[in-house]
């Protein structure tokens, strides 16, 4: 009888959770749209792109988990996530800009990313907030991003500690990014998220070590996806930067023709 009651209670909890669930997930989108471009942001490689999950990518599939532990009395899981959502760009390494929507991190919102690559090139891409609740949020990448996948940021309370976590599930989008990841890109990414988590911990007054776990979920490359390179944000960003002098000269000429 007790089991039946337990099961009924669990089913009721699941029903309630499922009802709330609709507000946590993004609505269906066929192509991304950036509603407002923040000042200073480059809006490239996002508008009109489809989302690309880990199964649409080219390279090996990786799951990377980065964790820091904080004393529970310092911050609860829900407070940590609320802060992380609110101050998301502040915790990123210098030179990498996240232009979030004015409304904050909420399901369906699109953010622009302008990342500085080795050599000084700015790579422009974006992400969509796929999911957000009180204890986690997930960003999903568009076509042309360095990797196809999603990143889930979460916090849980375990044994008197609050564990903050970033978990990436990804494949390199195309053969060029796969090569880049092999030649140091993975290490750069590990440094990026380790830095972010250390900054999150530092925000709450903790100098925490980052625990990193990397698992290759699928060793095979999806050669049928080589043509993803057409959308490559690296190639398109490089083209955009190379075209800057021409755009500048054109603007000057246009201004020169305009009467005062």
Partner 1 sequence: MTTSELSTTVRRRDRVAVIDLVGGVNARAEHSLDTAWAEAVRELPDAVVLNFRDAGYINSTGIALIVGLLAKARARGVPIRAYGLTPHYREIFEITRLADFLAINPDEDSAVRGAERSST
Contacts to partner 1 by CB under 8 A:
10-11, 13-15, 17-18, 20-22, 24-29, 51-56, 61, 63, 130-131, 133-136, 138, 140, 150, 152, 154, 156, 167, 169, 217-220
Q: How far is the CB of 17 from partner 1 (least distance, A)?
A: 4
Q: Closer CB to partner 1, residue 12 or residue 242?
A: 12
Q: Closer CB to partner 1, residue 114 or residue 165?
A: 165
Q: Closer CB to partner 1, residue 28 or residue 244?
A: 28
SS3 letters across the chain: CHHHHHHHHHHHHHHHHHHHHHHHECCCCCCCCCCCCCCCCCCCCCCCCCECCHHHCCCCEEEEEEEEEEECCCCCHHHHHHHHHHCHHHHCCCCEEEECCCCCCCCCCEEEEEEECCCCCEEEEEEEEEEECCCEEEEECECCCCEEEEEEEEEEEECCEEEEEEEEEEEECCHHHHHHHHHHHHHHHHHHHHHHHHHHHHHCCCCCCCEEEEEEEECCCCHHHHHHHHHCHHHHHHHHHHCHHHHHHHHHHHHHHCCC
Q: How far is the CB of 21 from partner 1 (least distance, A)?
A: 6
Q: Closer CB to partner 1, residue 27 or residue 254?
A: 27
Q: Closer CB to partner 1, residue 91 or residue 150?
A: 150
Q: How far is the CB of 27 from partner 1 (least distance, A)?
A: 8
Q: How far is the CB of 207 from partner 1 (least distance, A)?
A: 27
Q: How far is the CB of 214 from partner 1 (least distance, A)?
A: 14
């Amino acid at each position: 009888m007790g089991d039946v009651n337990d099961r009924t209670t669990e089913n009721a909890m699941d029903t309630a959770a499922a009802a709330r669930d609709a507000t946590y997930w993004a609505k269906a989108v066929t192509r991304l749209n950036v509603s407002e471009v923040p000042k200073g942001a480059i809006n490239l490689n996002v508008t009109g792109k489809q989302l690309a999950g880990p199964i649409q990518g080219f390279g090996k599939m990786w799951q990377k988990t980065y964790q820091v532990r904080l004393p529970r009395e310092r911050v609860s899981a829900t407070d940590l996530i609320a802060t992380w959502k609110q101050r998301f760009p502040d915790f990123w390494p210098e030179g990498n800009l996240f232009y979030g929507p004015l409304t904050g991190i909420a399901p369906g919102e699109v953010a622009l990313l302008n990342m500085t690559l080795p050599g000084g090139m700015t790579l422009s891409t974006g992400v969509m907030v796929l999911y957000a609740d009180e204890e986690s949020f997930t960003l999903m990448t568009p076509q042309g991003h360095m990797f196809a996948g999603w990143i889930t940021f979460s916090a849980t309370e375990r044994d008197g500690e609050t564990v903050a976590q970033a978990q990436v599930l990804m494949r390199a989008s195309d053969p060029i990014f796969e090569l880049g990841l092999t030649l140091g890109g993975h290490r750069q990414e590990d440094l990026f998220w380790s830095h972010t988590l250390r900054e999150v911990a530092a925000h709450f007054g903790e100098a925490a070590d980052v625990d990193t776990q990397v698992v290759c979920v699928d060793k095979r490359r999806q050669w049928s996806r080589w043509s993803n390179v057409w959308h490559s944000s690296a190639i398109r960003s490089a083209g955009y930067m190379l075209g800057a002098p021409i755009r500048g000269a054109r603007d000057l000429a246009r201004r020169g023709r305009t009467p005062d």
